[in-house]
Amino acid sequence: MKLSAPIYHLKRNARALSRRQKIPLHQALDTIAAIEGFPSWSLLAAKYEATTPAEKLFPRLAPGDLVLVGARPGHGKTLMSLELAVQAMKAGHPATFFTLEYTEKDVLDRFHAIGIDPADFAALFEIDRSDTISAEHIVARLADAPSGMLVVIDYLQILDQKRETPELMVQVRMLQAFARTKGLIFVFISQIDRSYDPAMKSCPDLADIRLPNALDLTLFSKTCFLNNDEVRFQAVA
């Protein structure tokens, strides 16, 4: 059975349907799956996502890495980051998701969106929605984290939104040192500047990261940029 569109297009259609009809994302995904001839999204995903981009990328990550995941809104950067977390948990490592953007229900809905039952990883996954999310908060929160944990920060530009927190450069350096010391993998979701024009470049890159404050992007060891069906992963020189 051939899909009517690439699976990333179908996911985007489901997100649009979810917003338009004000239904949970997992319900919208199941609706899209039914149109494609499958009883549920999880069955569609099992058939067509046998090797996902995250499955290809995760083996290339190492303890101490800082990974930057960037895309325009609606192009899958949150799903990609959660898929990387799933790969870590499948390997037996815990994962934590720091966010001020999503409710716990939103995050769990996105697990359903990638065909994952959150209950399968209940003992390995935590969500932190504290109003005080910053590098200092993250370091304190993960003081006892085991080596190999994957940490998602949603999102990079939110770290220094409060006046009382250090500038972004200081915070990223702090998290870099912490990741290397503890053997953790940090995945930073990042916004893309509005000046990015997909007609000029098929996929954004480091030059398109939205930076309200100065930041040395070479602090990140790896990047993953997404646009439509393209996933571009590389080490930072």
In this predicted model, what pLDDT tens digit does every residue of 53-67 receive, in sequence order?
A: 898 899 999 999 999
Say what percent of the chain tops pLDDT 70: 97
Q: How confident is the model at residue 50 (pLDDT cuts 50, 70, 90)?
A: low
- pLDDT digits 0-9 by tens, 8-40: 678 888 989 999 999 999 999 999 999 999 999
CA 98 from centroid of its chain's CA atoms: 11
Beta carbons of 151 and 188 less than 8 angstroms apart: no
pLDDT band at 46 (very low <50, low <70, confident <90, very high): confident
How far does Cα 115 stand from its chain's mean position?
Answer: 15
- The continuous run of DSSP H or E covering 73 comes out as none
pTM: 0.80
> Model confidence over 120-166: pLDDT tens digits?
899 999 999 999 999 999 999 999 999 999 999 999 998 988 888 89
Full set of structural domains in the chain with CATH: 7-48 (no CATH), 53-235 (3.40.50.300)
Q: What does each C-alpha distance from 48 to 5, 43, 45, 188 come to in angstroms?
A: 12, 9, 5, 27
The letter for the amino acid at 174 is: M
User: Tens digit of pLDDT for each residue in 75-110?
Assistant: 999 999 999 999 999 999 999 999 988 999 999 988
Determine whether 223 is exposed, middle or buried from the number of CB atoms within 10 Å of its CB (0-12, 13-18, 19+).
buried
